[in-house]
Amino acid sequence: MFHSFYKTKEWAFWAYGGGALLILCLWMQVEMSVAINTWYGDFYNLLQTAADYKDKPDEGIALFFSKLIGFDYLINNFEGQPSFLIIAFPYVLLAIITNWFTRIYGLRWREAMTFNFIPRWRTVEDEIEGASQRIQEDCNRFARIVESLGLQVVRAIMTLIAFIPILWDFSSKVDIPIIRDIEGSLVWGSLLVSVGGLLISWLVGIKLPGLEYNNQRVEAAFRKDLVLAEDNKEQYAKQETLFELFTGIRFNYHRLYWHYGYFDLWLNIYDQFMVIVPYLIMGPGLFTGLITLGTMVQISNAFQKVHGGFALFLHNWTTITELRSIYRRLHEFEHNLRRFEKPVLDSPQSV
């Protein structure tokens, strides 16, 4: 899986050159996120003091719109505070390009795995269970999930690098006994609730990987009978056999959905609680005058960014469960190839 893409000269340019380009794009997006977080402070402070402009509303309204869609930052040779439009438009454009290239990157990875498996599989005389599904479907799903999850992991790491110092500095504005005496309390609090949530998620969803794996086995058996029936319906398209196979699929899905049900219950409760955590910690400071509304919004945004980075695996637990199941099947397939394959004298050239 990894060797065919990252340890071959044929795919080195895509694997490492493409990976470096993705990392650069992600870092630029993270820097724009930091700029937006800074913009939040000025904008919400303006809203907090809106009543000060009641005798000069035109000035206040002009300032309001300049914060949102103004071009002064460009006119003044990139000096001052950029408007939301100046930050957000390049961010959206870069995000579109990054997502497009990430999909191409995942497709190349799938291509590398496919071209590695096919010539090896052709030399195998023994039957390998679900070989066609492993080469066609599992390679595709593995590449797509790794493409998506890998992008999130890199983005999360960069987000943590950028936002942890910001959140650490804001920790000095905590005005709750005991917590205010802990240096970097907001960072440690975010880490604590994220790790705790991950551990609970692991316990709640401990049966999911095995259920996903078993589900794919019954799906493969059903698919195999249907494929064989395309050439010989009398022998393979027996109604009672297909109904029996689908009954097994239905039983597995009901069991899988039940376990996903209580996992989703836990995850939704956790996510809703995390929305109010920064307000519970920082809210009192609004009433003591320690922080302004703009600072509160900045802290809330930075806290969610840091928490999101720490809790990446928690929020992608179902995807990781599916990936673990696919990895297990592909690993077994590679193991069987090594057991049964014969040396390949002439392998077809990749396109």
Residue 54: give its domain's CATH number.
1.20.1560.10
| Residue 192: other Cβ atoms inside 10 A | 11
First vs last C-alpha separation in the chain: 19
Distance, CA of 327 to CA of 261 (rounded, Å): 24
What gap in Å lies between CA 277 and CA 197, rounded to an integer? 14
Extract the tokens encoding 100: 């497009």
Write out the two tokens for 301: 């945004």
Owning domain of residue 108: 3-340
Q: Does residue 135 contact residue 114 with C-beta atoms inside 8 Å? A: yes
**Hey, what amino acid is at 144?**
R
Q: Is residue 273 part of a domain?
A: yes
Q: Do the domain assignments include residue 347?
A: no
- 345 is a domain residue: no
Q: What is the pLDDT along the chain (351 residues), one digit of tens a residue?
A: 677 888 888 888 998 999 999 999 999 999 999 999 999 999 999 998 888 888 898 999 999 999 999 998 888 888 888 999 999 999 999 999 998 998 899 889 888 888 888 888 887 777 776 777 788 878 888 888 888 888 888 888 899 899 999 989 988 888 888 787 888 888 998 888 888 887 888 888 777 777 777 777 777 777 777 777 777 667 766 777 778 878 888 888 888 888 888 888 888 888 888 888 888 888 888 888 888 889 899 999 998 888 888 888 877 877 887 888 888 888 888 888 887 766 555 444 433
Whether the predicted model's global pTM rises above the 0.75 cut: no
Between CA 187 and CA 160 the distance in angstroms is 10
DSSP state of 291: S
Structural domain contains residue 101: yes
Please report whether residue 346 resides in a domain: no
How many alpha carbons fall within 13 Å on the CB side of residue 311?
A: 23
- Give a yes or no: residue 108 inside a domain: yes
* Whether 291 contacts 285, CB under 8 Å: yes
Please give the Cα distance from 172 to 284 (Å, whole number): 14
* Distance, CA of 233 to CA of 129 (rounded, Å): 21
Q: How many structural domains is the chain composed of?
A: 1
| Closest listed residue to residue 161, CA positions, set 320, 293, 33 | 33
Identify whether 44 is part of a domain.
Answer: yes
Q: Is residue 195 part of a domain?
A: yes
Q: 124 and 323 in contact (C-beta within 8 Å)?
A: no
